[in-house]
Amino acid sequence: MNYKNFPMVSKIIFGRGSFNQLDELISPKRQGRNAPFIFFVDDVFKGNHWLTSRIRLSYKDKIIYIPTDEEPKTSQIDQLTEDIILEYSEQPSGIIGIGGGIVLDVAKAVALMLTNEGESKDYQGWDLIKNPAVYHVGVPTISGTGAEVSRTTILTGPDKKLGINSDYTPFDQVILDPELTKDVPNDQWFYTGMDCFVHCIESLTGTYLNAFSQSYGEKALQLCKEVFLGDHLSKEASQEKLMMASWHGGMSIAYSQVGIAHAMSYGLSYLLGIKHGIGNCIVFDHLDEYYPDGVDLFKQMKANHSIELPQDVCADLEDYQFDIMINVALSLEPLWENALGKNWKQVMTPEKIKALYQKM
Ligand code: NAD
Ligand code: ZN
């Protein structure tokens, strides 16, 4: 057995208002006047003085607002990287991502591509990155994806949706300030929070499970239950617990894998542009055959928070479109093996996946 040796986020600060310390945290990393800090900020915060007034710009530092109607594309990452290379004479001192999973992934990917030649699509996969990234910092403003802790940045390329998984991908610094999540709309809070819940279920029921993953997964699941099924939590406690659930959920899958909901949600995302959180929910709702206890809990959570999921998203699709989704889903072999074991191909046939998609 050859065990994997994983890097982790090197520094982490946790607490309500800890975002106030951003400047103090990154200042020691400044490489000089011509080496700026670039702040990628979720465009939901444009004009939001409460947040942006705490980003102190010096010398050539810059804020770039990132739209979130679409998940990150390799072409977008290449463009952002190219713009920075053309605009500045020196490599940036640091890249700081402030936002949801999309913005965190953009920050990670650009930090990697600034020091690695060529196009980001060529690095989609495992351990293809050769050089360490530029110093990069993650500040999540919505909880659930685990992108703040993971060693991947998920990108849609010309022919696949796949992460850049590497030892250089994890953030050098993460700021966990639960107060930053206070204005997340209810539906989105649920969808992104369920990403964490699904990470827990897929990890804990998977064949790759081990004591490392289990310890994090169980904690994250317990926190999710408190947040989504409990009714005595203050708003503050709920924000704090979900932020830690996201962290633990991410740690849990670091040493195992996700499963069927993620594989099929990637198909929906690739073909229809359905975003990760809501896509997972649409799929997971129909996976009772594979995750009976998890789906049961999910339905209770959905009812508790009066969430109505979109129906019939695949109703008008043609056969060739189903084939595209099925191919994307089936190409994610480790996810299926984790969910169903070594002989998964005998259990999950293209016909079976199609029948599931047809229900959605
Ligand atoms: P997201 O980044 O699209 O954010 C969801 C929405 O919430 C956006 O409209 C955003 O503007 C808004 N938002 C964020 N913070 C807010 C706040 N404080 N107040 C109000 N609105 C706020 O969605 P997400 O679910 O966080 O992330 C999904 C993305 O993360 C996908 O691209 C997915 O591929 C990626 N992902 C990455 C990993 C990883 O390990 N790298 C893991 C899971 C998902
Ligand atoms: Zn996920």
Q: Are 234 and 202 in contact (CB under 8 A)?
A: no
How far apart, in Å, are the Cα atoms of 126 and each of 96, 168, 228, 349? 24, 11, 34, 26
Per residue in 40-99, pLDDT (tens digit) is 999 999 999 999 999 999 999 999 999 999 999 999 999 999 999 999 999 999 999 999
Amino acid type, 12: I
Burial 139-166 (b: 16+ CB within 10 A, else e): bbbbbbbbbbbbbbbbbbbeebbbbbbb
Q: Using a 6 Å cutoff on CB, does residue 353 contact ligand 1?
A: no
Q: Using a 6 Å cutoff on CB, does residue 42 contact ligand 1?
A: yes
Per residue in 263-306, pLDDT (tens digit) is 999 999 999 999 999 999 999 999 999 999 999 999 999 999 99
Starting from the CA of residue 105, give the closest ligand.
Answer: 1
Q: Using a 6 Å cutoff on CB, does residue 41 contact ligand 1?
A: no
d(CA 344, CA 322): 20
Mutate to test the pocket of ligand 1, among 6, 148, 154, 199 (most ligand atoms within 8 A of CB): 154
Distance 344 CA to ligand 1 centre (A): 31
With H, G, I as helix, E, B as strand and everything else as coil, classify residue 67: coil
Ligand 2 ion: nearby residues, β-carbon < 5 Å? 195
What is the predicted pLDDT for the residue at 159?
Answer: 82
User: Which 8-state DSSP code applies to residue 135?
Assistant: P
Spans of the chain below 50 pLDDT: none
CA dihedral 29, 30, 35, 40 (to 10 degrees): 70
Burial of residue 258, with CB atoms counted within 10 A of its CB: 0-12 exposed, 13-18 middle, 19 or more buried? buried
With H, G, I as helix, E, B as strand and everything else as coil, classify residue 162: strand
What is the predicted pLDDT for the residue at 145?
Answer: 98
Mutate to test the pocket of ligand 1, among 50, 98, 145, 200 (most ligand atoms within 8 A of CB): 145
What is the predicted pLDDT for the residue at 79?
Answer: 98
Amino acid type, 49: H
Total residues found in the chain within this entry: 360
What is the predicted pLDDT for the residue at 1?
Answer: 80
Amino acid type, 221: L
Q: Using a 6 Å cutoff on CB, does residue 143 contact ligand 1?
A: no
d(CA 259, CA 339): 5
Which region holds residue 92: left if phi is over 0, alpha if psi is between -120 and 50, else beta?
A: beta
Q: Using a 6 Å cutoff on CB, does residue 276 contact ligand 1?
A: yes
Comparing CA positions, the residue from 15, 12, 44 lying closest to residue 138 is 12
d(CA 163, CA 104): 13
